[in-house]
Structure 1
Amino acid sequence: MTRICLVFSFALFCGLAQATTLPLARDLPAAEREAQRLFALPSVPNLRDLGGYRTADGRTVKWGLLYRAGTLDALEEADQRELQRLQLRRLVDLRSRQEIDDAPDRLPPELAALRVEMPVRAGTIDVRELSRRINGGDIGDLRLDDLLVDANRSFVREHRQVFSDWLHGLLDEQGTPVLYHCTAGKDRTGFASAILLLALGVPEGTVMQDYLASNPYLEDRNRRIGERVRQASGGRTDPAILQPLLEVRPRYLQAALQAMREDYGTVEGFLRDGLGIDDDLRARLRERFLEPLASR
């Protein structure tokens, strides 16, 4: 009887464990993948698969190779195990050195060994000083909506080499599957996703759709941040004032696209002359990350 009970208990435990395992989009039938784009781990904000987007010539981005996310500094053990199911071969941290020092990734050794730092500062934003002022209610002269406009311009004009290295690195032998992240997974990660999708031939409208998807995916997290800031500031900082900083807005990415056009004539010119994505490299990116037309 004891043995039967133990066997039953083990089976029940396995069944519960299996029930809590999230499905991976790449393992689902094609019609069900979009609904599973978000890989909803409790301790990892905005973790999602970049697959499934359609290019102008009718091809689609492969699932299970490109994952974008927010911070990994609070990664719980259960979520570490889930993350390992992605079979990553590279993990790219786009945060500034200051952010990495303040909140290092919390990874198991096998994932930590895959980690590559590609630091990008978000424009003129000093994260520590901004946090101090927001938590202290000292925000009277802050124009938060302009901060991320300026940051997106800086991605084009001050951080071209980092983003060029990011794209070229995707073709390394150990380059994918890759997870790349910043703090919220929306600004630097959003720009990195945008230039990759554009290089693959995904139309700007679809690129903007992926960029803006951070808003619903981060809604609950942003609400919690707003409440913490309200309490920390003794009610002096209205959470509503923070929305331009916590969200993504079309004008942010549009500022980057406009900077590309101002400096290089076209978005294509920026990809080619600013990032070094020539015809050969673009063909290799498309071969690696797009489904062949014949498979449709």
Structure 2
Amino acid sequence: MKALMTGLALLLFTGLGSATPADQPADSRLLPLQGAANVRDLGGYRTEDGRRVKWGLLYRGGALDKLTEHDQQHLQRLGLQRVVDLRSPAEIDDAPDRLPPDLLARRIELPVTAGNLDIRDLTRRIHAGDLASLDLQDILMEGNRSFVREHAGIFRDWLHGLLNDQSAPVLFHCTAGKDRTGYAAAVLLLALGVPEATVMQDYMASNQYLAEKNLRIAEQVRQASGGRTDPALLQSLLGVEPRYLQAAFDAMREEQGSVDAYLRQTLGLDDATRAGLQERFLEVATEAGS
């Protein structure tokens, strides 16, 4: 029970577990993995200048510690060249990635840590059913602000690494694939010129891809807490809401005046860097397909 509660708390915010493009069905985006949830292709999103993100180069996801042999074979067929792990050292120790040996050798860590979040207090509250007085939405919003302010250097390295490393296809992930990974996907898509509204759609898609898993987690927590924890109160924790990512966008504007200026000034995405990323990960969109 202790492990379950601690794992749930880490799922919330260790860095602080909807829509897809109209012309691409959801099952084209989600990878058919048996031991991992919310692992999906970022291809197909349209940019403001009419291009689209290439399919098969950029993947986002959740924990990879339970990958089956079938899953590993599937990742190998994708031709992955790099895995980027955004989890904290403690999370990695508790649940190391289960990858094919050649891919494991090409895995890198860019840890986003818990900051000032009191994991022990959150775990105690979940166990005691004392969540009503805890503003989980505010905690997650503050987490996204911390990505913008305290962790800017990590996400700067992440974006510049995509251009300089020349290792693609790449899969980047955290634990649930929704908070740290959601923010990483957001700044990447923005850098590629994808409209903010589409970026929000991709962020919110985690609710669709995690729905079944989150129902199981909520029931497990309810039982482990002796019925003291209301599963409904966990939905803010287990899913995502527009206000979470919007808090990051607002923090960018507070820091630099606009989202574009934040990308340019704080994350170092000048015209040449953005052009390099776009040349690598975008293509001309045809009229018939995305």
Q: How far did 1:78 drift?
A: 1.7
Which of residues 72, 82, 87 is equivalent to 1:90? 82
Query: Is 1:106 equivalent to 2:101 in the alignment?
Result: no
Residue 101 of structure 1 deviates from its aligned partner by 1.9
Q: Tell me what 1:20 maps to.
A: none
Structure-1-length-normalised TM-score: 0.85
2:204 equivalent in structure 1 = 212
The aligned residue for residue 7 of structure 1 is: none
Aligned-pair CA distance for 1:292: 3.3
The one-letter amino acid of 2:92's match is I
Equivalent residue number for residue 140 of structure 2: 148
Pairwise CA RMSD? 1.9
Task: Work out whether 1:36 is the aligned partner of 2:31.
Answer: no
- In 1, the alpha carbon distance for the partners of 2:285 and 2:72 equals 35
> Which amino acid counterpart does residue 78 of structure 1 have in structure 2?
H
Report Cα offsets for 1:211-240 as digits up to 9, x if no partner.
Answer: 000001000000010011011111111111
Q: CA 1:130 to 1:66, structure 2 compared with 1: closer, same or farther past 3 Å?
A: same
* Structure 1 pair 86–47 and aligned structure 2 pair: CA distance change class (3 A): same
Cα pair 1:89 1:174 within 8 Å, conserved: no
- Residue 164 of structure 2 aligns to a residue whose secondary structure is coil
Alignment partner of 1:60: what SS?
strand
Partners of 1:73 and 1:106 within 8 A in 2: yes
What amino acid is the match of 1:258?
A: D
Higher relative contact order (CA 8 A, sep 6+): 2
Distance in 1 (CA, whole Å) between partners of 2:42 and 2:205 is: 11
2:12 aligns with: none
Deviations 1:123-160 (A, max 9, x none): 53344553454234343532211111000000000000
Alignment match of 1:276 (pick from 268, 271, 288): 268
Find 2:109's aligned residue among 105, 117, 123.
117
Unaligned runs of 5+ in 2: 1-22
2:47 aligned with 1:55, yes or no?
yes
Aligned counterparts of 2:153 and 2:241: Cα–Cα separation in 1: 25
Q: Give unpaired runs (5+ residues) of structure 1.
A: 1-30
Q: Which moved more, 1:134-143 or 1:157-166?
A: 134-143
Count residues with an aligned counterpart. Answer: 266
Given the two structures, how large is their TM-score scaled by the length of structure 2? 0.86
Matches within 5 A, 1:151-166: 151-166=143-158
Match of 2:219 in 1: 227
What's the CA shift string for 1:85-113, capped at 9, x where partnerless? 12111100001122212222122312211
1:288 is aligned to 2:280: yes
- The structure with the largest alpha-carbon Rg is 1
Matched, 1:236 2:228: yes
1:172-212 CA-partner distances (Å, limit 9, x unpaired): 34421100001110111000000011111110010000000
Alpha-carbon separation, structure 1, partners of 2:248 and 2:32: 29
